[in-house]
Amino acid sequence: MSRRKVTNSTVSGQPLSPAELRRVDAWWRAANYLSVGQIYLMDNPLLREALQPEHVKPRLLGHWGTTPGLNFMYAHLNRAITARDLDMMYVIGPGHGGPGVVASGWLEGTCSEVYPDIGRDLAGMRRLFQQFSFPGGIPSHVAPETPGSIHEGGELGYSLSHAYGAAFDNPGLVVAAVVGDGEAETGPLAASWHSNKFVDPRRDGAVLPILHLNGYKIANPTLLARIPTDELTSLMRGYGHAPYLVEGSDPEEMHQAFAATLDHCLDAIGDIQHEARTARRQPVARRPWPMIVLRSPKGWTGPAEVDGHQVEGSWRSHQVPFARAREDDSHRAVLEQWMRSYRPEELFTEDGAPVPEIADLHPAGERRMSANQHANGGLLLHDLQMPDFRDYAVEVETPGTGAVEATKVLGGFLRDVMAANMDRFRLFSPDENNSNRLQDVLEVTSRTWNAELLPDDDSLAVDGRVMEILSEHTCQGWLEGYLLTGRHGLFSCYEAFIHLVDSMFNQHAKWLKVSNDIVWRRPIASLNYLLTSHVWRQDHNGFSHQDPGFVDHVVNKKSDVIRVYFPPDANTLLSVADHCLRSRQYVNVIVAGKQPTLQYLTMDEAIVHCTKGIGIWDWAGTHPTEEPDVVLGCAGEVPTMEALAAVELLRGFFPDLAIRFVNVVDLMRLQDEREHPHGLSDNAFDSLFTKDKPVIFAYHGYPTLIHRLTYRRHNHQNLHVRGYKEEGTTTTPFDMTVLNQVDRFNLAIDVIDRVPSLQIVGAPVREILRDKLIEHRIYIRTHGEDLPEIQDWQWGMGAGPQAATPDPAQNAPEG
């Protein structure tokens, strides 16, 4: 505990009475003691005997470095909660500080409430220590298993966006968000500072960011700890904050300095909220929100030196400060000395419970941060008030007609979902809400905006509920925080760029999977993605905007938390969206079109089709009662249209060919029922796709996914899939399908190539179709447009194909 730094603090004052100071410090020492115990010990928790090798865990795992700082803040926040009766959550960016947060939960009794075998007694303390980062126990990071957390600490960068997500629409809530200085280097975190321009101080709660500079990452110093203080405070001012610095290492001075600063910041938050909530003239101008920079030594209060190397205040404190406490007597002596330096005999009773002085510090019941109900959002979840989605139905007199923008229709429905749920529903989008055709929502709310407004601005307001920032990461983080605290939402995004949040999706899906096995975690609303501006209609933006692979990424996650839908038209989209918005504990991916497209199903038909998730469209096939010669399968808006056009072409050429048409809305129906809850039985699959007939499948994304989902099916060897194969550029919509061979002509050729009875009679037709492809390419390269007959194509009109229909008999070769 050498090299103490001088305490330096923006706010001065000595607000703690001697008793308060003693109480806060006792809490801190207790939490630190319990943290070290979790990392090192499996027995002898209160050091009632000298530490023996067998008391030390054989495998030491955990992160000490950030932990004492987190415990320090926890103690001070508790004092403030009690003094001010605050409703406060603790979001911990440096999630590796798991032992600290677990220790505080144990001190507050929450741990014992949710895990009854970890009582607040000696046996419970022993279990607390042993279970930490131990097989069968809890992870070393903050995780779903940690009471009071909405934030998995393994992947860094999302603490602030999660904290803001929690604060939205919770006017009484204060979220203390600790930003680690490692995490602060990440892109998602750097972007999320600007979240303060999306807070309505009247309607929303407050976030109090605490940037914790402990100076080191795994092996390097942190950037923000190594720039001059004036640069750092400039940066925070630039982010829209009023920064308050607390730095030093002397516990007593730091307690006073941090308490004074925290009081000041909470007062400032109160001021901002009071002004906004009482001002006659609305909205009031945005004011900088307070934030704290806490600069404290890494591994604070840990051993100053081990084996001649500095440990406290160094990167060597990052994980386990010294590793051979089981094998090496001198290391074990350091450990024992270190733990005894917290004076456990003053902190715990004879039977291992926290002494009353500690128990007095923390608030009671749901005011405890470890028991705050917002952090177990399912407890607070209210269903959405849902309008009847059937009221938004598009009329479809003849399937395959019309020109409807499916997501525009969805926008009308979402507008009324929004209107009925102005306290619990938000839309999120990276500047694409209108581009994705959800603009009708702006009839009942605005885009959230608490920065400068100009007279010409359109639908921007401080209390808007459509959240748009050009950061997919921030959108995703906000939505996750909003859902995890018991609300509902939908993220609309260009399909290609949703890959930006692949890793965030991973973590959320993993959180849901683990939560499903934690009895005290209550189900939350699903995370709904609407992916539009999809690969087949990014022809104008070109190759960089074309990637349908998010679905492939999603299906790697546990089948009990992921769902994927490809509604081919507006009514099916409405039905799917209604279902998704009502669901719990899933990640729902909906891929839908925003361009004017043909419609196929009436609302009643759409409901039946979407409920089944997969089905034969009798009207679209030929000779529906017969055993088919070939099955045309499809999933996705554009592939469905092309598959229909292929049927029409084929019908013109081969009137006797029996084609079965199968459309897939719920992609996971393709999978085996043993692999996914939505999976079809083999019998059901065979009854759709047959056991032995050729199947041509037109798929929205990468073809391999369909093979992957069906490789165990009986008829898999006859399955031929077309889809996106990374051929794209700036061209016409139809040409995109041609480049990837998922167009009507290529699909029809695929059928001819695979149906035995067409081997001979089909040959001349094949040539006609190939000529048609060439004719089209010539046309677009000279006119810049698709052939008029393709632009005008509607099912049953036969404009394109019939014009091209020859008499096949005439062209058939002789033998």
* Subset of residues 116 to 135 that bind a second copy, contact rule: CB under 8 A: 133-135
Distances (CA, A) of 161 to 91, 167, 190, 700, 810: 10, 10, 10, 32, 68
For a second copy, the binding residue among 19, 123, 227, 803 (CB under 8 A) is 227
Strands of the sheet containing 460-461, edge to edge, are: 460-461, 447-448, 466-468, 425-429, 488-494, 527-532, 587-591, 562-565
For a second copy, the binding residue among 8, 544, 687, 802 (CB under 8 A) is 544
* CA gap 135, 662 in Å, rounded: 47
* CA gap 104, 79 in Å, rounded: 13
For a second copy, the binding residue among 1, 47, 82, 186 (CB under 8 A) is 186
By CB under 8 A, what part of segment 34-93 binds a second copy?
42, 57-59, 61
Shortest distance (Å) from residue 497 CB to a second copy: 6
Region near a second copy per CB under 8 A, out of 223-231, 418-426, 615-623, 637-645: 223-231
Is there binding between residue 519 and a second copy (CB under 8 A)? no
Q: Which of 307, 302, 298 is nearest to 331 (CA)?
A: 307
For a second copy, the binding residue among 25, 87, 169, 183 (CB under 8 A) is 183
Is there binding between residue 687 and a second copy (CB under 8 A)? no
Region near a second copy per CB under 8 A, out of 228-236, 356-364, 393-401, 592-600: 228-236
Shortest distance (Å) from residue 476 CB to a second copy: 10
The residue among 25 and 152 lying less far from a second copy, judged by its C-beta, is 152
The residue among 507 and 602 lying less far from a second copy, judged by its C-beta, is 507
By CB under 8 A, what part of segment 444-503 binds a second copy?
447, 449, 451-454, 456-458, 460, 468-474, 496-497, 499-500, 502-503
- SS3 state of residue 78: helix
Is there binding between residue 323 and a second copy (CB under 8 A)? no
Helices and strands in the chain, H and E counts: 27, 23
Residue position matching structure tokens 């750097």: 190
The residue among 238 and 596 lying less far from a second copy, judged by its C-beta, is 238
The residue among 211 and 647 lying less far from a second copy, judged by its C-beta, is 211
Q: Which of 369, 373, 351, 372 is nearest to 361 (CA)?
A: 369
Shortest distance (Å) from residue 611 CB to a second copy: 27
Locate the DSSP E strands across 110-205.
173-180
Shortest distance (Å) from residue 514 CB to a second copy: 6
Q: What is the DSSP letter of 699?
A: E
Q: Which of 496, 452, 448 is nearest to 475 (CA)?
A: 448
By CB under 8 A, what part of segment 643-682 binds a second copy?
none
By CB under 8 A, what part of segment 778-797 binds a second copy?
780-781, 783-785
Shortest distance (Å) from residue 750 CB to a second copy: 16
Shortest distance (Å) from residue 727 CB to a second copy: 9
Is there binding between residue 10 and a second copy (CB under 8 A)? no
Region near a second copy per CB under 8 A, out of 116-124, 139-147, 269-277, 627-635: 139-147
Instruction: Name residues whose C-beta falls within 8 Å of residue 798's C-beta, 6 or more positions apart in sequence.
Output: 648, 652
Quick check: 108 and 362 in contact, CB under 8 A? yes
Locate the DSSP E strands across 617-739.
630-635, 659-664, 695-699, 719-722
The residue among 431 and 771 lying less far from a second copy, judged by its C-beta, is 431
Shortest distance (Å) from residue 322 CB to a second copy: 17
Distances (CA, A) of 451 to 240, 267, 283, 561: 10, 23, 11, 37
Is there binding between residue 190 and a second copy (CB under 8 A)? yes
Instruction: Name residues whose C-beta falls within 8 Å of residue 329's C-beta, 6 or more positions apart in sequence.
Output: none
Q: What is the DSSP letter of 436?
A: T
* CA gap 380, 366 in Å, rounded: 12
Crossing angle, helix 472-484 and helix 502-515, to 10 degrees? 10
Crossing angle, helix 570-582 and helix 603-612, to 10 degrees? 50
Is there binding between residue 151 and a second copy (CB under 8 A)? no
Is there binding between residue 18 and a second copy (CB under 8 A)? no
The residue among 434 and 746 lying less far from a second copy, judged by its C-beta, is 434
Q: What are phi and psi of 259, to 5 degrees?
A: -65, -40
Number of residues that bind a second copy (CB under 8 A): 120
Quick check: 392 and 409 in contact, CB under 8 A? yes
Give the x-and-dash track for 256-295 against a second copy (CB under 8 A): ----------------------------------------
For a second copy, the binding residue among 148, 201, 378, 549 (CB under 8 A) is 549
Q: Which of 197, 180, 176, 301 is nearest to 240 (CA)?
A: 197
Shortest distance (Å) from residue 181 CB to a second copy: 9
Shortest distance (Å) from residue 128 CB to a second copy: 15
By CB under 8 A, what part of segment 584-613 binds a second copy?
none
For a second copy, the binding residue among 185, 357, 366, 443 (CB under 8 A) is 185
For a second copy, the binding residue among 611, 729, 757, 759 (CB under 8 A) is 729
Q: What is the DSSP letter of 433?
A: T
Shortest distance (Å) from residue 807 CB to a second copy: 33
The residue among 90 and 702 lying less far from a second copy, judged by its C-beta, is 702
Residue position matching structure tokens 């990374």: 726
Structure tokens that stand for 135 in this block: 């097989």
Is there binding between residue 154 and a second copy (CB under 8 A)? yes
Shortest distance (Å) from residue 702 CB to a second copy: 5
Is there binding between residue 716 and a second copy (CB under 8 A)? yes
Q: How many other C-beta atoms lie within 10 A of the C-beta of residue 220?
A: 11
For a second copy, the binding residue among 731, 740, 741, 746 (CB under 8 A) is 731
Shortest distance (Å) from residue 76 CB to a second copy: 26
By CB under 8 A, what part of segment 355-374 binds a second copy?
none
The C-alpha angle with vertex 487 and arms to 485 and 488, in degrees rounded to 5, equals 140
For a second copy, the binding residue among 141, 264, 660, 722 (CB under 8 A) is 141
Instruction: Name residues whose C-beta falls within 8 Å of residue 556's C-beta, 6 or more positions apart in sequence.
Output: none
The residue among 157 and 800 lying less far from a second copy, judged by its C-beta, is 157
Which residues on neighbouring strands pair with residue 633, listed in sequence order? 662, 697
* CA gap 369, 175 in Å, rounded: 10
The residue among 344 and 548 lying less far from a second copy, judged by its C-beta, is 548
Q: Is the peptide bond before 283 cis (omega within 30 degrees of 0)?
A: yes
Q: Name the residue type at position 297.
A: P
Structure tokens that stand for 580 in this block: 């998704």
The residue among 135 and 365 lying less far from a second copy, judged by its C-beta, is 135
* CA gap 17, 635 in Å, rounded: 68
Which residues on neighbouring strands pair with residue 338, listed in sequence order? none
Longest dimension (CA), the chain: 107
- SS3 state of residue 607: helix
By CB under 8 A, what part of segment 555-574 binds a second copy?
556-558
For a second copy, the binding residue among 735, 743, 750, 789 (CB under 8 A) is 735
- SS3 state of residue 300: coil
Is there binding between residue 22 and a second copy (CB under 8 A)? no
Region near a second copy per CB under 8 A, out of 17-25, 200-208, 639-647, 730-738: 730-738
Structure tokens that stand for 710 in this block: 């069906």
Region near a second copy per CB under 8 A, out of 146-154, 201-209, 400-408, 634-642: 146-154
The residue among 133 and 588 lying less far from a second copy, judged by its C-beta, is 133
Shortest distance (Å) from residue 533 CB to a second copy: 11
The residue among 153 and 321 lying less far from a second copy, judged by its C-beta, is 153
Q: What are phi and psi of 93, to 5 degrees?
A: -60, -50
By CB under 8 A, what part of segment 420-439 binds a second copy?
431-435
Length of the chain: 815
Q: What is the DSSP letter of 523?
A: P
